[in-house]
Amino acid sequence: MENTNKIRIAVDAMGGDFAPGNEIEGIKLVYDANIEKDLEIVILGDETSIKNKLDSLNFHNKNISIIPTTETITMHDNPVAAVKQKRNSSMIKSIELLKEKKVDGFISAGNTGAMLTTSTLILGRLNGISRPSIGTMLPTTKPYPVLIMDAGATLDLQPRFLYEYAIMGSIYYREVMKIDNPTVGLLNVGEEESKGTSQLIETYNLLKSNPKINFVGNIEGRDILQGKTNLVICDGYTGNVVLKLSESLFYVLKDKMKAYAGSSIIHKIKAGIAAPILKEAVAGFNYEIYGGVPLLGVNGVVIIGHGSSSPVAIKNMIIAAITSIKNNICQKIEMAVNADKNE
């Protein structure tokens, strides 16, 4: 792992609900698609399970190595306790590799709270960043997704935190989505500058003060999925509710269709015709496309996945990590947030 020309990524094979199967199938998809020439992947987890899965796929590649670990941080583990008690877990060992610069990035579909806590404690924050943030991509009715920041890392609404989310998120969106000057909206209860609490008004003024942020003003709940802005800035409590409410849309519709189909034979036949069309129409609302979410503001590239991540989602998480590494996201965030401080 010393060759620094390579891109080296650690994959937590024990993270998701279908670990290590989906993780390893996802890695295979990355190599099958030949996404990055000089890519080295380090898989951390239970050695036997990992080898069995690699064998069953007949997937062997000289750029893949395994680091065996004996513990697993589960979805039920308390994040703070886990970081102390499960030092030999695949998650903590991966983050330590990143800290020691033996890898350039890390992905996991494991416990989000534990990812946040362990990454922040072990890697530390980037110089000038007050709080790390989890940014979540959601599909919109426009060609581009919306990046919600924060989606649950820091629940308090502090103007300086939200201002930093806008700086970090703008850089991430620009590099990953290849959009030059992404637009930023502040989530509020109305569009006027005077709307909201004193903290929201203070945030508005901070966002407006930095010409490097493409701030278009306040936006409302109805604007999020209609893609009015590329980024939506809010506190982590509200962002988390927005994310989970949006994710439930597909299930809400499915239930509504089921109730409709159950009301008569004619409705059942009609619903049978409509269901697959509806499914295709809302296919964009599929978390797999964006794969994972970045943990921004810590000193290293960390991508967090949904517990139920599919192989395609894992593949897209690895691609997001590669893009972040190649575009020096961390250095760019540090420069941007400190440039502003020195002005």
Query: Is 50 strand, coil or helix?
Result: helix
- Site residues for its own copies, 169-208, by CB under 8 A, read 187-189, 196-197, 200
Report d(CA 244, CA 254) in Å as an integer.
16
**Sign for the pseudo-dihedral over CA of 272, 274, 276, 279:** negative
The span from the CA of 313 to the CA of 279, in Å, is: 19
Residue 80 touches its own copies, criterion: CB under 8 A = no
Answer yes or no: are the C-beta atoms of 184 and 231 closer than 8 Å. yes
By CB under 8 A, which span of 20-28, 176-184, 244-252, 297-305 interacts with its own copies?
244-252
| Nearer CB in complex with its own copies: 14/200 | 200
Mark 123-142 with x for binding to its own copies (rule: CB under 8 A) and - for no binding.
-----------------xx-
Q: Which of 78, 58, 64 is nearest to 27 (CA)?
A: 64
CB 196 within 8 A of CB 218: yes
Name which position in 56, 262, 284, 339 contacts its own copies (CB under 8 A).
284
- The window from 38-46, 210-218, 236-244, 325-333 that contacts its own copies (CB under 8 A) reads 236-244
**Measured from the CB atom, is 69 or 118 closer to its own copies?**
118
Q: Which of 35, 57, 249, 339 binds its own copies (CB under 8 A)?
A: 249
Burial string for 47-74 (b: 16+ CB within 10 Å, else e) reads: eeebeebbeeeeeeeeebebbebebbbe
Instruction: Choose, by CB under 8 A, the member of 17, 256, 308, 339 that binds its own copies.
Output: 256
From 248, 264, 308, 331, residue interacting with its own copies (rule: CB under 8 A): 248
Least gap, CB of 231 to its own copies (angstroms) = 15
CA distance 191 to 174: 25
Q: How far is CA 229 from the centre of its chain?
A: 18
**Residues near its own copies, by CB under 8 A:** 140-141, 152, 155-156, 187-189, 196-197, 200, 220-226, 234, 236-238, 240-249, 251-253, 255-257, 259-260, 270-271, 273-274, 277-278, 280-282, 284-285
